[in-house]
Amino acid sequence: MISHMQIRYLDGPRLRRSLIAACEYAQGQRAELNRINVFPVPDGDTGTNLALTLRAVSDHLRANRERAVSAVAREAAQGAVLGARGNCGMMLSHFLLGFADSVVERERISTIEFGVALKAGVDKLYASLERPVEGTILTVMRDTAVAAEGAGTADFVPLFGHVVEQARESLARTPDQLPVLKKAGVVDAGAKGFVSMLEGVLLFVQGVSLAAGSEAVAGPGAAAGEGMAAALAEYPTAEEQYRFCTEALVRGEALPTQAEVREVLRERGDSLIVIRSDDVLKVHIHTDDPEDVFAYLRSVGSLITHKAEDMKAQHDAIGRDGHIQLARRPVAIVTDSAADLSEEIVRAHGIHVVPLSLVDGDRSYRDGIDINATEFHRMLAESERLPTTSQPTPAAILEGFRAASEEGEAVVGVFLSSTLSGTFQAAEVAAGRVEGDPPLLADSLGASLLTGLLTLKAVELAEAGWAPSEIVAEVRRIRARSGILFTVKTFERMIASGRVGRGKAFVGRFLGLKPIMGMTPEGVVAPFGKAFGLQRARAELLRVLRRQIPASARKVRFGVVHVGMPEIVDEMTGALRSEYGADVEVLSAPATPVIATHLGIGAWGIAYIVEDAS
């Protein structure tokens, strides 16, 4: 589009392209937003939290092909809810949900209807907050909506020129509304992030490239490099009574309302924001007792993701690293796609995932990017040809390390077992090419959700402020008492991949034998048992599992993984909770293509980590 072109309506494709431009431009402002982040806590993470939220939005929109503006608005809102990080991400999610509600069932909207939708987004956000604070993203969103409603034009091009101008003026006033901003000499970081989104849309409708327009649309706020406001600001111990920035995502068919959840949690902390959308409940709260919050949320539905970051540790980290390339947290975590972690967990914790590759004839797929597990399982069931798998190159892993280093003071990598793949060796090569302190690496000596559970433990330790060397040591300690067990429906894929000989497979098929395989503490795939028939294999795998977990274990976590057999998840989850406690954590996932290709349809397994035992 060019500046003299008139845009009289907004339909699905136009809204999608505009939002993607908004996300891309605002993500490019991450370092500056982190630098000026002093409210509500100077932990230097607003830019990163907003960038991760917007990445989720743009990823959802790129896969969307809807023509109606209502469908695209709903997809953007759902992406924001699933990927929401921090105060700004949660507030943006409420805003987008309100916008989507206002345009429901609409194919296209006019500038007047757009202004009404913006106001609906603001109204929904205000209604969701316990104690709205002016001088934040909230204020700038409201002023933007007012500007849109009063623009008096039927053309979206001048409309966006007007709302951006008004949004910048509103942003410039934020220090007069919040004393902490005036003292630090900055504008509100979340508000500036929202203005950056509007600027991205303006560049798009004017036909200006995002890169070329970066300096031209520079708004109010200190220029990059003028000093690390977040690092220089004192931690507000008097105002911020709580230590952990706690977030969780719950799924369920009969979840409580937002008001009911707020009523329960409001006495447990501050900065409380609750989102309820369809079968998803998202909670953000600053608290001293994250486990108490998680216990309540487990009682209302399935706790899919949860995290608790030590805000004081984050502030201390930026004090050590007080320059513009601000580290949001002390340690960032990298893994590979064979860890089988869900999108929700990856987004909730900001884990960097390096994709393995799948080669099918002359086509190559990046695991989790070009093809997902469910799509591959369907392909596997219909095709006789066995795809081959390929480890990531050192260059691909190095790129993952570089991306992680932009968000962390240090980097820790947890990778697929060196006994199964060359991925860990490639990570070692990549680590050697990193300038400065190299990433510390942990060989999971496992695969699938065993690697995933160890990665999740590593990121939780990082969020709690553990040092990189301590994290790696703890992952290795836990791995020594953990493992994964699995069984297969047929031997065909294991024969084709060379994992089992044809003679043994013939005997197994003839007898109806189902092997119980597993990985030893050294990372070797070995037989752990056998059973005749599918039903007996389930009972036998649970019996073997019981034998592997010490009676003294006080904290155990599980993962159920499958290849085209989703019905096994509920069955095994119920069995595990019946034996190990109703609150025991059980992750689940369809097996990544690089694992599924060697096991075949009907394979399934249980991973476990023993975190504490007497």
Q: Where are the chain's structural domains?
A: 10-218, 244-314, 322-478, 483-613
Structure tokens at 389: 């798998």
Give kind and range of the element (H or E) at residue 519: strand 513-519
Report how far residue 614's alpha carbon sits from residue 609's, in angstroms, rounded to the nearest whole number.
Answer: 15
CATH topology of domain 322-478: Rossmann fold (3.40.50)
| Average pLDDT value for the chain | 88
Q: Pick from 10, 95, 31, 29: which is nearest to 57 by CA?
A: 95
Q: What pLDDT does 42 receive?
A: 79
Mean pLDDT, residues 463-485? 95
pTM over 0.85: no
Q: What is the share, in percent, of the chain residues with pLDDT greater than 90?
A: 67
Residue 321 has pLDDT above 70, yes or no: no
357-360 and 388-390 as β-strands: parallel, antiparallel, unpaired? antiparallel
pLDDT recorded at residue 213: 56
Residue 594 has pLDDT above 50, yes or no: yes
**SS3 letters for 400-452?**
HHHHHHCCEEEEEEEECCCCCCCHHHHHHHHHHCCCCCCCEEEECCCCCHHHH
pLDDT at 264: 96
* Lowest-confidence pick of 302-311, 478-487, 525-534, 578-587: 525-534
Count the helix, strand and coil residues of the chain and give each as a percent rounded to the nearest 5. Answer: 50, 20, 30
Architecture of domain 244-314: 2-Layer Sandwich (3.30)
Q: What is the mean pLDDT of residues 77-90?
A: 94
For the chain, how far is it from start to end, CA to CA, in angstroms? 66
Range with the largest mean pLDDT of 3-7, 71-75, 598-602: 71-75
* Alpha helix positions (H), 554-603: 567-580, 593-599
Query: Within a 10 A sphere around the Cβ of 241, how many other Cβ atoms?
Result: 12
Architecture of domain 483-613 in CATH?
A: 2-Layer Sandwich (3.30)
* Nearest alpha-carbon partner for 65 in 101, 12, 1: 12
| % of the chain exceeding 70 in pLDDT | 87
- Name the 3-class secondary structure at 86: helix
Average pLDDT over residues 308-312: 83
Nearest to 603 by CA among 388, 416, 373: 373
CA distances from residue 367 to 127, 337, 394, 413, 588 in whole angstroms, order as listed: 41, 6, 16, 18, 18
Q: How far is CA 122 from CA 10, 25, 41, 100, 227, in A?
A: 20, 22, 23, 12, 33
Q: Is there a common fold for 244-314 and 322-478?
A: no
At residue 303, the 3 state secondary structure works out as: strand
Contact 174, 144 (CB under 8 A): no
8 A C-beta contact, residue 138 and residue 92:
no
10-218 in CATH: which number?
Answer: 1.25.40.340
